[in-house]
Chains A and B, each alone.
Chain A
Amino acid sequence: MRIRAAVSAALASAGILLVGWQSGAHVADTGSTAAAASAAASSGTSSGASSGSGAGGGTAGAAAQAAGTYAGSVVRTRFGTVQVQITVKAGAITDVTALQLTDDDRKSVQISNRAAPLLRAAVIKAQSAQVQTISGATVTSDAYLSSLQAALDAANL
């Protein structure tokens, strides 16, 4: 669950990054020299971005310029801060790594809180003698008399 969640979050961030990268490539097509800079959305280190402007095919030149590693922008989610880095070679993403996947206390967190199938033996157990109150579907006044909550209340009179 944790891995799947992290991967999906990373892919989502990578998608955002890709949009930035493609817009950077588009800028390169129009002759700007800022392709690599705009591809590195925030603090990317663009190692492979040489100054060779695309004398050949425009798109091929843009792809070559985009080689390197790029860090995506830092995204705040309700689970904490997420930031990913992608590695691009020959115009293709070859790696995605999570730079930040932490909550406010800088601990690694689980992105997904979705409910998953669980064996009855694997849920938190509680004995009626241990608990202070009982949660259940609303009991009528009549049904209350035979409920576990009524036993607790009677014990605490």
Chain B
Amino acid sequence: MQRTSKPSPAASPAQSSLAQSIPALKSRTFQCMGTVISLALPAGAALDGEGVLEGATAAIERVFAGLDATFSLYRPDSEASRLARGEVTLRDASAAFRARFADATGWRLLTDGFFTPERPDGVLDLSGIIKGYAIDQAAVALESSSIEDWCLNAGGDVLVSGSPAPGTGSPWLAGIVDPQDRRSLLSGFSLGGTGRFTALATSGTAERGNHIWRAGADRARGGRAGLGPLDFRQVSVAAADILTADVLATAVVAGGRRMLDWATDSWDVEVLAVLGSGELLATPGFRA
């Protein structure tokens, strides 16, 4: 896990003399699904001017925007909103909608209900898997563009391919936010390169998306409100694919220790969990 990593040139201008040996990145961002999506590619010959990065970003943005138009409950005209209002039934829903519903239902079974596609009020809410699915489909778009080395970050969920220094096999290094001080990093994890994990997702109580798991968490705590010392404040899951990482991170926040053990027993994942007390639970892959 140890690697000699390089300071980002702009983040530490004092060390700009080191920049020659640093695999510099170029990144672009756009807003969708209520958050910001960042695509980073290694700078250099492969980028061949700005066209590659701009084109790849546009392709990804189309993927995200297309899914958001169908699945967002924040858009009154989306298929999800029409279903929520009862204007159409699931039987009349599009094949794409039913496919994602089937995915979510499968995950609910696999996680003993701790991941659920239903809000407490009974409204079908697939947002818990749509962002992960969008990242997954964006990866398909990048691969079809023959881009091999990239890092995609959608609001804190990360999927990578290849290396930040093409041809070296060195991994991407992802930092994990400290939920007690979001300006600092709690830990880091290597993704891609020659390793088997390419995805890292983090769920927590500190930010948006609480409604996805709140029902499960309340059930797990017997309906008590607030964050107890044994509840999970933040859970990061590394996996070989982003949907598994994203769904399991959400499920463990909802299901607590029981779901955590079930996740590590049943899937090939590494997990770093922060308890309400601030203590950490970690699988061996997170040990320094």
Interface residues of chain A, those whose CB is within 8 Å of chain B, are: 1, 78, 110, 113-120, 122-141, 143-144, 147-157
Contact = CB atoms under 8 A, between A and B. Distances in A.
Contacts of A116: 281-283
Nearest to A119: B280
A135 B35 contact: no
A115 to B, nearest CB: 4
A135 B24 contact: no
Nearest to A152: B8
B49 to A, nearest CB: 15
B177 A134 contact: yes
B5 interface: yes
Contact of A130 (B29, B173, B204, B209): B173
A141 to B, nearest CB: 5
Nearest to A154: B10
A80 B35 CA distance: 40
B192 to A, nearest CB: 10
Interface stretch (B60-68, B99-107, B148-156, B215-223): B148-156
B24 A156 contact: yes
A131 to B, nearest CB: 4
A46 to B, nearest CB: 35
Contact of B174 (A122, A132, A153): A132
A131 B131 CA distance: 23
B174 to A, nearest CB: 5
Q: Give 8 closest A-B pairs by Cβ, nearest first.
A: A126-B188, A137-B204, A136-B177, A155-B10, A131-B175, A130-B5, A137-B207, A156-B27
B200 interface: yes
B203 interface: yes
B182 interface: yes
B265 interface: yes
Nearest to A127: B185
Contacts of B34: 140-141
29 contacts: A114-B265, A114-B283, A116-B282, A117-B281, A118-B280, A124-B187, A125-B188, A127-B185, A128-B185, A130-B188, A132-B174, A133-B174, A133-B175, A134-B176, A134-B177, A135-B156, A135-B158, A135-B202, A136-B156, A137-B179, A137-B203, A138-B131, A139-B207, A140-B35, A144-B36, A144-B155, A147-B182, A148-B175, A156-B26
A113 B281 CA distance: 12
A153 B203 contact: no
B36 A139 contact: yes
A135 to B, nearest CB: 5
Contacts of A134: 153, 156, 174-177, 185
A150 B29 CA distance: 9
Given A115-B273, A115-B282, A133 B208 contact: no
A26 B172 CA distance: 59
Contact of B268 (A78, A128, A141): A78
Interface centre among A110, A141, A150 (most CB of B within 10 A): A141
A132 B160 CA distance: 11
Given A115-B272, A127-B7, A149-B156, 7 more contacts: A129-B7, A132-B40, A135-B175, A137-B179, A137-B204, A137-B234, A141-B34
Contacts of A150: 36
Interface in B131-168: 131, 151, 153, 155-158, 160, 164
A138 B157 contact: yes
B12 interface: yes
A138 B288 contact: no
Interface centre among A116, A127, A131 (most CB of B within 10 A): A131
Contacts of A147: 182
Contacts of A140: 34-35, 207-208
Interface string B1-28: 1000111111110000000000011110
Contact of A115 (B176, B206, B264): B264
